[in-house]
Amino acid sequence: MKSITINGSQRESVGRKATKALRNAGQVPCVLYGGDKSVHFSAAELAFSKLVYTPNAHTVVIALENGETYNAILQDIQFHPVTDRILHIDFYQLFDDKEISMDIPVSFVGNSKGVRNGGVLRKNKRSLRIKALPGNLPDFIEADISELKIGNKLYITTLENEAYKFMHPENTVVCLVKRSRTTVEDEDEDEDEDASATEGDAPAAE
């Protein structure tokens, strides 16, 4: 998985007054959890644009001015209810030998037979939660819809991978092809029926 580096400064004071002063200076107060102790730091609000305002999933390298670095993922974020400015971010520290749960975007690929015949692709899950070691976290989960006909569903079991496990029930529907007003019968099914009819009408060899 791709990683984004956030350059920050460790916070000595974590009180309300100090936090307000940071925000007024264009800084975002942050906390890193998951290690031996919590790490309080701040970073420029602009530094989080590629991490927050994107549908893609990323891990994070937190690089502090004192030379310390931490691998992490974004765990929680708070926005101002009116201005939508970032108020606070929580991170969770990663360790190479410890599994982590994370939401990963789904990438739908292929040309569905049902959609070609007028059906509508309904994407039930645009992201899926998985559990894996940090080194096995994918950038995205590929869902091939090529074989989906009208009325077909793509279940999460079709996407199983040895590198990670899904944190969803086995009957979870990732996407399906719904019938619409412009729907016609699947072409391949029509061809099969025509072929069968032709064979049935053909006279038997003497």
pLDDT 10s digits, 129-174: 999 999 999 999 999 999 999 999 999 999 999 999 999 999 999 9
* Confidence band for 13, pLDDT divided at 50, 70 and 90: confident
Residue 40: name the closest of 9, 83, 18 by CA.
9
What is the distance, to the nearest Å, from the Cα of residue 29 to the centroid of all Cα atoms in its chain? 25
Among the ranges given (12-26, 31-45, 60-74, 100-114), the one the predictor scored with the smallest mean pLDDT: 12-26
pLDDT tens by residue, 80-133: 999 999 999 999 999 999 999 999 999 999 999 999 998 999 999 999 999 999
Whether the Cβ atoms of residue 154 and residue 141 lie closer than 8 Å to each other = no
Q: What is the mean pLDDT of the chain?
A: 88
Q: Residue 201 pLDDT more than 70? A: no
Neighbours of 119 (CB within 10 A): 24
Q: Supply the pLDDT for residue 184.
A: 66
What is the distance, to the nearest Å, from the Cα of residue 17 to the centroid of all Cα atoms in its chain? 36
Q: Residue 9 pLDDT more than 70? A: yes
The three-state DSSP-derived secondary structure of 57-124 is CCEEEEEECCCCEEEEEEEEEEECCCCCCEEEEEEEECCCCCCEEEEEEEEEECCCHHHHCCCEEEEC
Report which residue type is found at 6: I
Q: Supply the pLDDT for residue 28.
A: 95
Q: Are strands 173-178 and 120-123 parallel, antiparallel or unpaired?
A: antiparallel
Q: Residue 19 pLDDT more than 60? A: yes
Q: Residue 20 pLDDT more than 80? A: yes
Terminal alpha carbon distance of the chain = 67
Sheet (strand 165-166) strand order: 141-144, 100-109, 127-132, 165-166
